[in-house]
């Protein structure tokens, strides 16, 4: 009940300030009070209240039950940081790679590397050797931590880039491949001299994490996030927009199913929650049985999810109302979520769970906007976080007013330093006066709530009209026979482009494509009508839930 009371208080405060969010120049402020961002490093910020929860569980594996208290987590990060300085000659600003699925040791590695003064570059553990090679070269990694399963991939990648660097194998629960260093032995070394950490000289303006964005063209771009960026984003989540209950009598539990190598899982689900003393339950991969079992056994309070997982909770037969009993908050991010999927979730839960959508980018560390708890504005992704400014512009960079649609821009303390050694990308990403261009089409209402319309680069152009794929996907998914859907634009000699839908039907359902097209086309303007449908087994998406439209275009082209 404490969470509910706190949530209602947040909304009242925010609404009372709604008239102050729009400036005369149509720049939109957060309705939250500005915060003072601590001038410190991310690792120092995480440990600032360690004495309050040193004996409480910090991380626990939902599969093996392997766990660490906050005190152990801190101790191991110190030992690891000292070992990296002493045994591997890691100096301030050197890059350390980390390639692993979610493990309770993930924070030890990430924070241990920061203690050593290093920059941490996280790798997708599903990468091929060629993708890994690219990131090793671009990030200029001096060594890499690796789950045993990905060691062969890293070794092949190092051969491809003709480079030799140490591989530290996270061997806490398995054997260690030949030619690697034992992580377990490093953190259990009781003889390492911790005084060497006094030589670390890092400050808030220094880079802490180097995360790579997938992009749509060219090589991945290295997003440089400073210690100050991450501290700001953690502190911003402790405002009226917070998604936890600081007055809860018991330690709250949060599931970490989102990949920790991604900014959403890394900062929102891991670093911030460690900074406030929550228990993190880690899952190395999504599997229906282990996911639902973990929610029940660990009495999970907070779930940060991507849209496919929300869709799972709203449709899978194993999901029953009791699953939602301990849950106080579900947040979805990384990609737009149709209202139809949220309604399915509520139908499963037999109640309106506190549900929220947020918005962010790797470049904003990552969270930029958030709805407060107990908000029922499901179409929006909420308000700007404290200390953030946002505006909507037309194609000539003129500021637009309330409810007008244009490109979304941000400015704030959580906006990245820039792209590593990529002046051209930085020039395209920032305006001359320092605003970050998101490339997203959006609108902001009178209260300051943000609604994402679509990616500018993904808009379908029909006779000069702009058609957002996400809007059509929302309509397609309202058909009772449809489980999932994605829409792309395909070439058309008459209109330039026309919308095509890729549809996943519910299990056991058969239907003619014309019936779905009729259903959709009765609900949209003439130029938005779906012209083609292909039935597929699954919509291709990346690990954060974003639709891989390039894959769909290749499927349409027969590649």
**Single pTM value for the model:** 0.85
| SS3 state of residue 227 | helix
- C-alpha dihedral sign at 246, 248, 250, 252: negative
DSSP string, 281-350: EE-SS--HHHHHHHHHHTT--EEEE-HHHHHHHHH-TT--GGGGTT--EEEE-SS---HHHHHHHHHHHT
pLDDT of residue 379: 84
The answer to whether residue 376 scores a pLDDT higher than 90 is no
Q: How confident is the model at residue 556 (pLDDT cuts 50, 70, 90)?
A: very high
Segment 431-436 mean pLDDT: 96
pLDDT of residue 559: 65
CA–CA separation, 383 and 33 (whole Å): 12
The answer to whether residue 307 scores a pLDDT higher than 90 is no
* Token representation of residue 462: 């029909």
In this structure, which topology does domain 66-202 adopt according to CATH?
A: Rossmann fold (3.40.50)
- Residue 491's DSSP bridge partners are 497
The answer to whether residue 333 scores a pLDDT higher than 90 is no
Dihedral (Cα; 376, 14, 325, 353), 10-degree rounding: 10
Largest separation between any pair of C-alpha atoms in the chain: 74
User: Which of 390, 388, 436 is CA-nearest to residue 413?
Assistant: 388
CA–CA separation, 22 and 480 (whole Å): 41
> Which position has the higher pLDDT, 333 or 195?
195
CA–CA separation, 353 and 16 (whole Å): 25
pLDDT of residue 217: 46
Segment 60-74 mean pLDDT: 97
Segment 190-194 mean pLDDT: 93
CA–CA separation, 213 and 366 (whole Å): 12
User: If DSSP states are collapsed to H, E and C, what string results for 412-477?
Assistant: CCCCCCEECCCHHHHHHHECCCCCEEEEEEEEECCCCCEEEEEEHHHCEEECCEEECHHHHHHHHC
pLDDT single digits (tens) 87-120: 999 999 999 999 999 999 999 999 999 999 999 9
pLDDT of residue 218: 56
The answer to whether residue 284 scores a pLDDT higher than 70 is yes
User: Exposed, middle or buried: residue 217 (CB in 10 Å: 0-12, 13-18, 19+)?
Assistant: exposed
493 to 487, 496, 533: CA distances (angstroms) = 19, 6, 18
* Token representation of residue 458: 């993904």
Question: Which CATH number is 459-556's, of 3.40.50.620, 3.30.300.30, 3.30.420.40, 3.40.50.300?
Answer: 3.30.300.30
Domains 2-35+229-399+442-454 and 66-202 share a fold: yes
Phi, psi of 482, rounded to the nearest 5 degrees: -95, 130
CA–CA separation, 418 and 213 (whole Å): 12
pLDDT of residue 14: 53
CA–CA separation, 461 and 420 (whole Å): 33
CA–CA separation, 286 and 479 (whole Å): 27
* Other beta carbons less than 10 A from residue 413's beta carbon: 20
In this structure, which topology does domain 2-35+229-399+442-454 adopt according to CATH?
A: Rossmann fold (3.40.50)
Domain ranges of the chain: 2-35+229-399+442-454, 66-202, 459-556
pLDDT mean across residues, the chain: 91
* Token representation of residue 286: 């999504």
Query: Quick check: bond before 484 cis, omega within 30?
Result: no
DSSP 198: G
Segment 246-261 mean pLDDT: 94
* Other beta carbons less than 10 A from residue 92's beta carbon: 14
* Other beta carbons less than 10 A from residue 480's beta carbon: 8
* Helices within 106-190 (DSSP H only): 106-115, 129-139, 151-160, 183-187
The answer to whether residue 557 scores a pLDDT higher than 60 is yes
* Token representation of residue 89: 């000659």
């Amino acid at each position: 009940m404490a969470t509910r009371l706190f949530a209602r208080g947040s909304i009242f405060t925010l609404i009372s300030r709604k008239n102050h969010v729009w400036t005369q120049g149509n720049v939109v402020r957060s309705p939250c009070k500005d915060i003072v961002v601590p001038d410190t490093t991310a690792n120092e910020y995480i440990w600032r209240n360690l004495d309050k929860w040193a004996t409480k569980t910090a991380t626990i594996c939902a599969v093996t039950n392997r766990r660490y208290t906050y005190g152990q987590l801190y101790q191991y990060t110190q030992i690891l940081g000292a070992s990296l300085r002493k045994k591997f000659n890691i100096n301030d600003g050197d890059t350390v790679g980390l390639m692993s699925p979610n493990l309770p040791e993930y924070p030890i590695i990430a924070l241990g590397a920061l203690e050593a003064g290093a920059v941490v570059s996280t790798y997708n553990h599903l990468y091929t050797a060629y993708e890994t090679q690219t990131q090793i070269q671009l990030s200029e990694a001096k060594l890499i931590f690796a789950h045993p399963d990905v060691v062969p991939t890293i070794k092949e990648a190092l051969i491809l880039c003709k480079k030799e660097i140490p591989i530290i194998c996270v061997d806490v629960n398995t054997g260690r491949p030949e030619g690697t260093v034992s992580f377990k032995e490093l953190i259990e070394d009781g003889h390492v001299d911790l005084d060497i950490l006094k030589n670390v000289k890092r400050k808030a303006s220094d880079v802490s994490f180097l995360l790579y964005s997938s992009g749509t063209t060219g090589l991945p771009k290295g997003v440089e996030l400073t210690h100050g960026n991450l501290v700001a984003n953690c502190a911003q989540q402790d405002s009226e927009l917070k998604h936890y209950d600081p007055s809860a009598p018991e330690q709250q539990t949060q599931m970490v199913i989102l990949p920790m190598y991604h900014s959403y899982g890394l900062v929102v689900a891991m670093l911030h929650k460690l900074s406030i003393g929550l228990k993190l339950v880690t899952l190395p991969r999504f599997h229906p049985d282990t996911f639902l079992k973990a929610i029940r056994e660990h009495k999970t309070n907070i779930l940060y999810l991507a849209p496919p997982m929300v869709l799972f909770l709203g449709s899978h037969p194993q999901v029953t109302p009791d699953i939602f009993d301990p849950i106080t908050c579900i947040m979805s991010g990384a990609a737009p979520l149709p209202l139809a999927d949220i309604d399915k979730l509520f139908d499963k839960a037999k109640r309106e769970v506190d549900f929220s959508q947020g918005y962010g980018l790797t470049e904003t560390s990552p969270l930029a906007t958030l709805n407060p708890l107990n908000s029922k504005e499901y179409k929006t992704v909420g308000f700007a976080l404290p200390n953030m400014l946002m505006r909507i512009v037309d194609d000539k960079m003129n500021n637009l007013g309330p409810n007008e649609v244009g490109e979304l821009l941000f400015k704030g303390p959580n906006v990245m330093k820039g792209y590593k050694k990529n002046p051209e990308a930085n020039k395209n990403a920032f305006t001359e006066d320092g605003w970050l261009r998101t490339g997203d089409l959006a609108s902001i209402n009178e209260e300051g709530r943000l609604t994402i319309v679509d990616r500018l680069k993904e808009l379908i152009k029909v006779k000069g009209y702009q058609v957002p794929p996400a809007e059509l996907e929302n309509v397609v998914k309202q058909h009772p026979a449809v489980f999932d859907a994605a829409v792309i634009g395909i070439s058309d000699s008459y209109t330039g482009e026309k919308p095509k839908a890729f549809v996943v039907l519910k299990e056991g359902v058969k239907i003619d494509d014309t019936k779905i097209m009729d259903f959709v086309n009765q609900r949209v303007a003439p130029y938005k009508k779906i012209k083609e449908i292909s039935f597929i087994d699954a919509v291709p998406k990346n690990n954060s839930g974003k639709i891989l439209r390039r894959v769909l275009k290749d499927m349409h082209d027969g590649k």
